[in-house]
Copies of this chain bind each other. A is one copy, B any other.
Amino acid sequence: MGKLLIVGTVAFDAIETPFGKTDKILGGAATFIGLAASQFDVDAAIVSVVGEDFPKEYLDLLEKRNIDISALEVVKGGKTFFWKGKYHNDLNSRDTLVTELNVLADFNPIVPDGFKDSDVVMLGNLHPNIQMGVINQMEKRPKLIILDTMNFWMDHTLPELTEVIKKIDVLTINDEEARQLTGEYSLVKAAQKIFEMGPDYVVIKKGEHGALLFHEEQVFFAPALPLEDVFDPTGAGDTFAGGFSGYLAASEDVTFENLKKAVIHGSNLASFSVEKFGTERMLDLERDEINIRLHQFKALTQFEIELQ
């Protein structure tokens, strides 16, 4: 059982999809990452910040899953980060209606002493300076540092983002962001350029079209499981990151062969996350359901072929 340090937002989300809408519910990258990672035998901690308005029951939910929240700062009198968004009919695009940074604006992450020797560090989507601040607090070099980011940081803080990308092992971004970051349309070429920036591994997330893992000259592809209904894509990418990093921390094996398995575990958990609003599906998810769907992933992609 390895140690996993998770850094990211813990937040309120309000979501509208073609199938319904929610009031403020539990959200945030670190929340989704933590819930997914807790499916594995891992010693996980979340570094994040919330306001005094954050319900104790949400904190309890995380603790009940053995996630260390001693470094989840609760700011007295502060308000929790809030995001409100509305998905378009195809669920592939969305409009952000409200972003209130609140306590996130002054977030200064403190890595707990017991996690300064973490095996895997999962840096959720945040300002690159915060991500760098966490790396700098580590007492020994983690086996694997994984960083998730998005186009917003490429638009506004590219020099800072470039600095932190130099320090990491795995970059996870979506296809459009990979193209924006590198100026290459071909994802194969984009991955090669990202290798030159620092990371040894690149995961390119393509949403309903699956995810690609690049390493040196090798490529591995995990499809998204074809689903009858996708209800709410919020948190799917973070759930992927949680399954990916949680599996790697639990297995303490950061070879390419094992990263392939981690991509499958991440895709598998993400396929559940989209079935209900927010974290709802991840909270009632059973081990048996996970295993059945892993079998479906195998059936979906495995074949025997003889050469001509």
Interface residues of A (CB under 8 A from B): 39-40, 89-90, 185-189, 206, 209-210, 212, 218-221, 223, 226-230, 260-261, 264-265, 287, 290-291, 294, 297-305, 307-308
Q: Are B219 and A226 in contact (CB under 8 A)?
A: yes
Which residue of chain B has its CB nearest to the CB of A228?
B188
Which residue of chain B has its CB nearest to the CB of A179?
B90
Chain B neighbourhood of A185, CB < 8 A: 89-90
Q: Are A188 and B298 in contact (CB under 8 A)?
A: no
Chain B neighbourhood of A228, CB < 8 A: 186, 188-189
Which residue of chain B has its CB nearest to the CB of A296?
B219
Chain B neighbourhood of A210, CB < 8 A: 209-210, 223
Chain B neighbourhood of A40, CB < 8 A: 308
Q: Are A304 and B261 in contact (CB under 8 A)?
A: yes
Please, could you name 18 A-B residue pairs with CB atoms under 8 Å apart, sorted by A?
A40-B308, A89-B185, A187-B226, A188-B226, A188-B227, A189-B228, A220-B301, A221-B226, A221-B300, A221-B301, A223-B223, A261-B303, A261-B305, A264-B305, A265-B305, A290-B308, A301-B301, A302-B302
Which residue of chain B has its CB nearest to the CB of A214?
B226
Q: Are A218 and B299 in contact (CB under 8 A)?
A: yes
Q: Are A220 and B304 in contact (CB under 8 A)?
A: no
Chain B neighbourhood of A307, CB < 8 A: 291, 294
Chain B neighbourhood of A221, CB < 8 A: 223, 226, 300-301
CB distance from A171 to the nearest CB of B (A): 16
Chain B neighbourhood of A304, CB < 8 A: 261
CB distance from A299 to the nearest CB of B (A): 7
Q: For the complex, what is the distance from the CA of A39 to the CA of B307, rounded to whole Å?
A: 12
Partner pick for A303 among B220, B290, B303, CB 8 A cutoff:
B220
